[in-house]
């Protein structure tokens, strides 16, 4: 369970502070599939990064399974990222000089799992993503969809509790986007919490729950089918 209480965060700005998160209260239960929506600059990525322990926050509290995340040392935070969290980025963030297989295996390196075992599990994960035949290709030799599958395989290889995806389909066409969503749904069906930041209503529609941010506040939180309703909230169809 992820639990945020009155989370505030601002970025230092020339001549002051830019408040980005202005008191976020949010509880996400294990196994939920949640979309975070909102216009550009509303604080979606910032929120996701706080959830992913990639960024700190100024005030409020964040508990992951009743453990206070603000108390963690740098090393403990790394351990949480390694054991509990998986990331999928819009720009894939694959390591350019490592093959697909090595990229996928890398998180296991930080869990001190032996090389042979890493490779075996990485290959199995690529198989599950349907791109085992690309295992020895470099990221530059892969299509966007394939890259995102590698990235998802990498996020999933440690069987995390939570997958955090910041616009995972932002760089992909609609067919590929759908395939990525298929994977994420399937992942979610195994009990992994999936949190997706997205601009796209179709993507949000494939989640169970949608949270809408505006100016660093949650203005809506509910069943996707209700929240995403474009006409009711005037969401721009442009991503």
Partner 1 sequence: MIFSRELWIEIGHTVIANPLRTALTGLSVGLGIFILVVMQGLGFGLQNGVQQDFGDEASNSLWIRTNRTTLPFRGRQANRSIELRNADKEILTEKLFETPLHSARRMLWGSTIQAENEEGRFAVVGVNEDYDQLESIPLVSGRWLHQEDVAQSAKVCVIGQTIVDDLFKKKNPIGEYIRLRNVTFRVIGTFSRSGSRWTNSMALIPITTLQRVFEGADQVGRVIVSTGDRTVEEASAMASMADGALRTRHAVHPDDQRAVRVEDNNEEFAMYQRIFMGIRLFIWVIGGFTLFAGAIGVANIMSIVVKERTVEIGVRKALGATSSSIVILIVVEAIALTSISGILGMIAGVLTLEFVAPFAEHDYFSNPAVNLNVTITALGVLVLSGALSGLAPALRAVRIRPIEALRYE
Ligand X SMILES: Nc1ncnc2c1ncn2[C@@H]1O[C@H](COP(=O)(O)OP(=O)(O)OP(=O)(O)O)[C@@H](O)[C@H]1O
Which residue's Cβ has the minimum distance to ligand X?
Answer: 45
Nearer to ligand X, 105 or 213 (CB): 213
Q: What are phi and psi of 93, to 5 degrees?
A: 55, 45
In the list partner 1, Mg ion, ligand X, none, the entry touching 38 (Cβ below 5 to 8 angstroms by class) is ligand X
Q: How far is the CB of 115 from partner 1 (least distance, A)?
A: 6
Residue 43 interacting partner from ligand X, partner 1, Mg ion, none (CB closer than 5 to 8 Å by kind)? ligand X
Residues in Cβ contact with 83 at an 8 Å cutoff, skipping those fewer than 6 apart: 111, 158, 160
User: The tokens of 118 are what?
Assistant: 């890493």
* Residue 216 neighbours by CB distance under 10 Å: 22
Nearer to partner 1, 85 or 184 (CB): 85
Q: Which does 117 bind (CB under 5 to 8 A by kind): ligand X, partner 1, Mg ion, none?
A: none
* Residue (42 or 99) nearer to ligand X, CB: 42
Task: Looking at residues 37 to 96 of the shown chain, list those that interact with ligand X (rule: CB under 6 A).
Answer: 38, 40-46
Residue 81 in the binding site for partner 1 (CB under 8 A): yes
Q: Which helix (H) or strand (E) holds 152?
A: helix 144-156
- Give residues in contact with Mg ion (CB under 5 A): 45
Cross-strand pairs, 93: none
Residue 166: in which H helix or E strand, if any?
strand 162-166
Length of the chain, please?
239
49 binds partner 1 (CB under 8 A): yes
Q: Is 99 in the site for ligand X (CB under 6 A)?
A: no
Instruction: Record the tokens describing residue 160, joined without a space.
Output: 């995390």
Structure letter (DSSP) for residue 125: H
Considering the complex, what minimum distance in angstroms separates the CB of residue 205 from ligand X?
18
Q: Maximum CA pair distance of the chain? A: 53
**Is residue 41 classed as helix, strand or coil in its secondary structure?**
coil
Residues that bind partner 1 (CB under 8 A): 49, 52-56, 74-75, 78-79, 81-83, 87, 89, 93-95, 97-98, 102, 106-107, 109-112, 115, 154, 158
């Amino acid at each position: 369970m992820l639990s945020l209480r009155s989370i505030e965060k601002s970025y230092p700005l020339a001549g002051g502070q830019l408040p980005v998160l202005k008191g976020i209260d949010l509880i996400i239960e294990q196994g939920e599939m949640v979309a975070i929506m909102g216009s550009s600059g509303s604080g979606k990525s910032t929120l996701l990064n706080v959830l992913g322990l990639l960024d700190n926050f100024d005030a409020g509290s964040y508990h992951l399974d009743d453990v206070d995340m603000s108390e963690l040392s740098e090393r403990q935070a790394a351990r949480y990222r390694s054991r509990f969290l998986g990331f999928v980025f819009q720009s894939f963030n694959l390591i350019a000089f490592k093959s697909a297989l090595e990229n996928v295996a890398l998180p296991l390196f930080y869990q001190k799992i032996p090389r042979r075992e890493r490779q075996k599990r990485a290959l199995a994960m690529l198989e599950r993503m349907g791109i085992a035949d690309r295992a020895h290709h470099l990221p530059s030799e892969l299509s966007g969809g394939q890259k995102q599958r590698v990235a998802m395989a990498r996020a999933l290889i440690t069987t995390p509790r939570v997958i955090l995806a910041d616009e995972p389909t932002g760089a992909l066409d609609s067919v590929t986007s759908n395939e990525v969503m298929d994977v994420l749904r399937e992942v979610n069906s195994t009990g992994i919490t999936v949190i997706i930041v997205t601009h796209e209503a179709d993507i949000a529609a494939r989640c169970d729950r949608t949270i809408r941010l505006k100016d660093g506040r949650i203005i809506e939180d509910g069943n996707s089918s209700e929240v995403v309703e474009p006409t009711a909230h005037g969401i721009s169809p442009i991503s």
